[in-house]
Structure 1
Amino acid sequence: MTIWMPELESIPGPRYRAIAHAIGEAISAGTLAPGERLPPQRRLADALGVTVGTVTRGYAEAEHNGWVVARVGSGTYVKQPALRATFDMARLPSDDSDVIDLSLSLPPPHPLRQQAFSHALSAVSTSPAALMRGVSYLDARGSEGHRDLLTEWLAELGMPLVSDELLITQGGQHGISLVLNTLLRPGELMAADALTYPGAISAAQQAHLKMVGITFDEGGMSMDALEAQCARQPPRLIYITPDQNNPTGVCLSEARRHQLVALARRYDIWLLEDGVQYLPVEQRGIPLYQLAPERTLFVFSTAKVLAGGLRIGILRAPNVLLERLATGLRAQSWMVPPLMVDVACHWINQPAARTLLEWQTKELAARQTLAADILSGYQLSNRSHGSNIWLMLPDGCRALELCERLLHSGVKVSSAEPFCVGSTPAPQAIRICIGAAKDQQALSSALATIKQSLTQPPNTPVTV
């Protein structure tokens, strides 16, 4: 037990608040370390010359601020560092880490990625045309040759597009931000599934947009809820991942795709369709950009099929928007560095690109089967070839507490908070990214840890 004793003389206000303030200051200064036990309330009251009730209120105030946690029959302890409520999208792979990180939606690791990248770099470094492009200013939309080659590749992936309708972006996230900053003004309303990709939420915040979450079920976004929202205040744009909601994996039904298009036309709403989370063509529905080409913008990237580090994305847009979007891109970065576009284009022309995608498709299916077996008996939402699993927790199990317990056990997953749009309450669920594990053995170990943690009783809260 710590012998820490606060100095209250210089802290103004009621004594209980001064005690809470002193606790916070001591934690910030490192005087009180995570996991340390605070002095018993009666002992601290006697030492400070205040009532036990004053100390009790002070500890309760500190707990309300998230600095300490009370444990029944044990005492009050400095809280361990909380998991971030925001979504950290950066991760440097580390073979010597003791934590199996299943918090980020990544393609399964394979040596072929580094090999193909190395070959592409070597080829570009000896190509006079690529070297010339690398030191030149190009059109903001990207060179016509690059767009033609990317169009052919997308057609192979089952995404038929027209080269003249494309812009090359610095990844899918850049495409989302470019659309929001170009088409919407600060304060305008953007709608999305009540749970959606955190990058879209962040982009909307950066663009100073209002955001509303639309309820959804196993058939995707509720068209009744969306129509009710349109009757109150139509959104200027709807962001949606129709084939595979992130984080839940829910697919928008064919009927609702047609209803969505009809509503968008009736209320003159832009549709931003995100197809970055790759699925085989037979598991995808009809694209919105085919149902409503005049008002749909489509985002795709190399991140989930080649490598995230390439930062090469494709944005499909109606012809009437191309010049506005090109102007917006030019204002942000003038153009996407042609060197990286050349690397990506050379990579997708290699047989290794097809080999890698075929392996990845089979690998994710095997991992989904593995996860379903280990977590049988629990409520899961996923796609058979998707990279994520949405796990609804049993009654009494709290997601943030489970995430913290799992992290201490060497497994990192995501709670629902980063995916919540606007005032959407966070469900008690976690997202498990099965593609992020280095192999099936590591995934199996992590899933077993998750299953074991689900059987542990939750910490009992204390009422002060």
Structure 2
Amino acid sequence: MRLPLDRHSDIPLYRQIEGFLRQGILSGSFAPETRLPATRTLARDLGLNRLTVETAYAELQADGLIYTRSGSGTYVLPRFQPAPVAHTSSDLAWPRWHHAEMRSVSAPTPDELLAAARQPHPLSLANGTGDPHLFPVKDFHKIMQTVIRRDGIAALEYGDPRGYAPLRRTIAHVLTSQGMAVHPDQILITSGSQQGLALVSQLLLKPGDEVLVETPTYAGALDLFRALNLSIVSVPLDAQGLQIERLEQRLQQRLIKLIYTMPTFQNPTGSCLSTPRRRQLLALADRYNVPILEDDFVGDLRYEGRAQPALKALDPGGHVIYASTFSKMLMPGLRVGFLVATGPIYDRLVNFKRASDLATSNLIQRAVEAYVTIGRYQAHLRRSCQIYRQRRDAMLTSIKRQLPASVQFNPPHGGLFVWLRLPAGLSSSELLPLACEAGVAFAPGRDFFPADSVEDNGLRLNFATQQPADIEEAIKRLGIALRRLR
């Protein structure tokens, strides 16, 4: 198939492809049930990246003009016939209480973050995890076999809602070595850190309550708070993290019920809250009697400089609930995280966990405990730090070389991400399709902001998932897309 593409047009190529096919379908030039070319074939014929054609097809499918048969291909949908997919809420006459509930929940915005991360292109910088090629699959497989041989049926039964006791003891030992005096009975194992955030939020807050977040912030937390119908209050970040003066203003003006923060290698900016500000934050939490949910998702990924104490380590009054995870550093699919809480709130969290999913996988907990205890986790962490440091350096070098000086960024000392700020007036959402056409994907900035404080000139790049040479090529392609945007 040959399409009349104008490669010098301001209209993105995927839009041109979509428009040509749309016109052909609506005019009847492409009859119902006509099989369209495979994305790989059409991309080759047009001399384009496959991602560009897939984006065009996705737009047509979203509008009900084409559909995909598993293992067969993509076809033109007969006019006025619904696509052969599962019904959505709007397709069916649901009972009235469904509609009342739907009105009570804010409709989510299109999740470009996950869409970009899932694109099957080798130069995606959009992921929120480490490099899958570094996952310790073989080692963990051996550990699983060892655990099943050792523990037998016990490993496959329901476990303690608080978590596997030896794993809680191991975590307590590690955290204590990092300056956080923790007892195993203050640790609750969760099914990933996301469940930990959900347990705390559902326990402490009710619909309409105000939760304070730094901006930009973790998109998964924003999704959670929206789903719980919470009112999101934002405080901006600077190079030293959360702006404490702005925070105090919000505490004076609003009835804040929870502060959510990522003080170490923040997602998406990679920033670290300075130690003086950590102490100021704790003092404000004490003065205004507000709990803090500290999300430490990659605190171990430090590439240089001295480690700063966790907020929980500086908190004598029990204001901080600490959340962390093994998933990001091992394998995301493990879904093993944990909370650290002191005082009466701990027992309430355990009861809420029991009511939520009974317990986190007993088998996986035992495997993680064995993996950490024999020293494999520490070795994996050291190897990952070495590799990711090299990739971070490659990205910083490439940004300085390939992108205009007007693009701002602060070099992160750890974590997985570099946060770029485009010149005023430029939009990362408008840059994304141009970047996809150039062969690189990223996470657009607006996904990391609540609706009332969206800034669209930022974008997040993950340096952990690509080799240095590929990072250089990816940033080069990003520069090409940026020049087209300007």
Q: Which of the five TM-score ranges fits, normalised by the shorter chain?
A: 0.7 to 0.9
CA contact (8 A) 1:243 1:284 kept: no
Paired position in structure 2 for 1:182: 203
The normalised TM-score by structure 1 is 0.76
1:268 to 270, 289, 305: 289
Q: CA RMSD in A?
A: 2.8
**Rounded Cα–Cα distance in structure 1 between residues aligned with 2:456 and 2:144:** 45
Matched letter for residue 200 of structure 2: V
Cα distance, 1:162–1:428 mapped onto 2, change above 3 Å: same
Supply the distance in 2 between the matched residues of 1:451 and 1:25 (Cα, whole angstroms): 29
- Give yes or no for the alignment of 1:148 onto 2:177: no
Corresponding residue of 2:74: none
Q: Distance in 1 between matches of 2:128 and 2:179?
A: 22
Q: 2-side partners of 1:443 and 1:159: how far apart?
A: 37
Q: Structure 1: how far apart are the matches of 2:323 and 2:356?
A: 18
Q: Among 186, 192, 214, which residue is 1:171 paired with?
A: 192
* One-letter amino acid of the structure 2 residue matched with residue 134 of structure 1: L
Partner in structure 2 of residue 398 of structure 1: 427
- Equivalent in 268, 278, 288 of residue 257 of structure 1: 278
| 8 Å CA contact retained: 2:259, 2:291 | yes
Partner of 2:438: 409
Matches within 5 A, 1:15-414: 28-30=63-65, 84-85=110-111, 87-88=113-114, 97-111=120-134, 113-128=136-151, 131-135=153-157, 137-155=158-176, 161-278=182-299, 279-280=301-302, 282-293=305-316, 294-376=318-400, 377=405, 378-414=407-443
Change (3 A) 1:393 1:237: same
CA deviation vs aligned residue, 1:382-420 (integer Å, no higher than 9, x gap): 413321000111345321121111112221101111110
Q: TM-score, normalised by structure 2?
A: 0.73
| SS of equivalent residue, structure 1 residue 101 | coil
CA distance in 2, matches of 1:390, 1:156: 31
Evaluate the alpha carbon distance shift between residue 243 and residue 206 of structure 1 in structure 2; reply closer, same or farther with a 3 A threshold: same
- Note closer, same or farther for the CA distance 1:125–1:231 as it changes in structure 2 (3 Å cut): same
Q: Secondary structure at the match of 2:114?
A: coil
State the match for 1:449 in structure 2.
477
Change (3 A) 1:124 1:29: same
Q: Residue 432 of structure 1: SS of its match in structure 2?
A: strand
Bigger drift between 221-230 and 151-160 goes to 151-160
Alpha carbons 2:215, 2:237 under 8 Å: kept:
yes
What's the CA shift for 1:242?
A: 0.7
Q: How does 1:408-427 map to 2 (within 5 A)?
A: 408-427=437-456
Pair 25,422 (structure 1): closer, same or farther in 2 beyond 3 Å = closer
| Residue 198 (structure 1) shift | 0.9
Equivalenced residue count is 386
What are the ranges of 5 or more consecutive residues in structure 1 without an aligned counterpart?
A: 7-23, 32-82, 459-464
- Alpha-carbon deviation of 1:112? 5.8
| 2:429 and 2:456 in contact (8 A); partners too | no
In structure 2, do the counterparts of structure 1 residues 84 and 25 end up closer, same or farther at CA, with 3 Å as the change threshold?
closer
Q: Distance in 2 between matches of 1:4 and 1:341?
A: 53
Q: Aligned AA for 2:460?
A: R
Moved more, 286-295 or 368-377: 286-295
> Retained in 1: the 8 A contact 2:134–2:384?
no
Equivalent-residue separation in structure 2 for 1:382 and 1:277 (angstroms): 16
Secondary structure of 2:330's match?
coil
Distance 1:430 1:449 in 2: 15
- Rounded to whole Å, the distance in 2 between the matches of 1:90 and 1:174 is 24
Superposition deviation, residue 85 in structure 1: 4.0
Unpaired stretches in structure 2, ≥5 consecutive residues: 1-19, 28-58, 67-108
Evaluate the alpha carbon distance shift between residue 4 and residue 303 of structure 1 in structure 2; reply closer, same or farther with a 3 A threshold.
Answer: closer
Structure 1 runs (4+) deviating above 6 angstroms are 3-6, 24-27, 89-92
Aligned 8 A contact 2:117 2:441 in 1 = no
Give the match's secondary structure for 1:391: strand
